[in-house]
Structure 1
Amino acid sequence: MQQLLLDVFTPPRPTLTNFLVGQNGQLVHELQQLIKLESLSPFMYVYGPAGCGKSHLLRGVAAEMGVNVVAGGNRFVFKPSEQALVIDNIDQLTPYSQVQLFNAFNSSLAENKPGKIILASEFPPAELKLRDDLRTRIEAGLCLRVQPLSDHEKHEALQSMAKSRGLQLSEEVIEYALRYFQRDMGSLMAVMDGLDRFSLEQQKPVSVNLLRHWMKRRESLVIREYETRTV
């Protein structure tokens, strides 16, 4: 039930533009260079803890290049016709998929197909439990860590979003959101977006009491949806 409630808060479509950069300015710059074929390496590997924004970055990059993000847990078959390859959670690649990715690296080096390979997982390159020859290929490219936003940066980002909408957010509301909701920025921004609409509907200023009222309404809607599914 809790997961269903959290699923109500759908983050906006990930792009490089709406990624909250924080300390990741160099990383975003390198991704932009890679998209424009101006990077020193056509291969990039990004890593960092869950919720730091890796999947957001990969989906934003893939959208700009007109390709889909491959999930590491899914069966992956390399096609030489692909112009770019984007894979998330590569630590979950099966032995077969690892061979396919190794072939993609070799094809890129020999024929520039695919012209770009962008990968991600939680682990530093040296800690990836992959084939040694594949890990060597990954380490030869550009490897960058995604730095999670600090609580202070999250405060600033939420306040900046609120100001852009003419919304007054107290520190109490932000602290409540950080304490009781998923702490990744996509979910937090989705919560603030929904709260903004609810404030306009109720014609009341945003407060912790209004946030609680809105949460009770959302919870009742989710419970009804859940009961409908299980009938």
Structure 2
Amino acid sequence: MAETSLRTDPTTTASAPPDLPPLTDQAERLVDLGLVPTDPADGTLDAATLRRRAADLTGSGAPGALLVVHPRHLPPSALAPHLLRTVRTRGGEVERPGFVVEDMTDVDAFAPVPDLDLPDADVWAVLAPDRGDDLANASPEEAVVALAARSRTPLTLGEGAQWVLQSPGVLEPGRCFMTIGSRVRRADGSDDARTPALWISGGTGRDGAGRRGAAKIGWCWWRNRHTWLGFASAAARRA
């Protein structure tokens, strides 16, 4: 990739996302939400296996890590309604489910980019996740170079969605993120120009006022910049 001029937002600093609960607690949340069944069909990840893997990863030392379930078991479309955010309205506080933008009907087709070192496992831990606030106002094309220079790996859409599920406070007004570890591969082998992102709906346009403040899975363009979108990344993954 050609070197680009990185123009980040000078008003931001390196992000300090909210603390994640222990991996075993993250596993229980997925089970409690019904996302991992206790009595699965053949080939489906079961709750007992998830709990065991969370305990194993905890024992191997992964403080502050994010527990991730492979998208073959938890695709982004299934995660979206469970990305709950508490929103203050005139009538009091309400909990609103997340959603996928209407023009992203192929959300589950956003797969890991070819050079991403993703574990061949049903469950893994994402170490030291970071929202990448200091890269706000960079384009995805620029940010992927910057992350590589820092020896950090970009999060996939599935990883980013599971981060929001486990820690809703990671999405803040004006401080949200792209997940450039996922792209759609065209039939000719090239990448679709869209890059997935998670942010907070303003309740305008096709989102509808009833979704104001909800977590939103959408997309941006590979060469576009947004001052309110950082680039989520990790130090490493451990399976």
Do both proteins adopt the same fold according to a TM-score greater than 0.5, normalized to the shorter chain? Answer: no
TM-score with structure 1 setting the length: 0.23
Of Structure 1 and Structure 2, the greater strand share is in 2
Of Structure 1 and Structure 2, the greater helix share is in 1
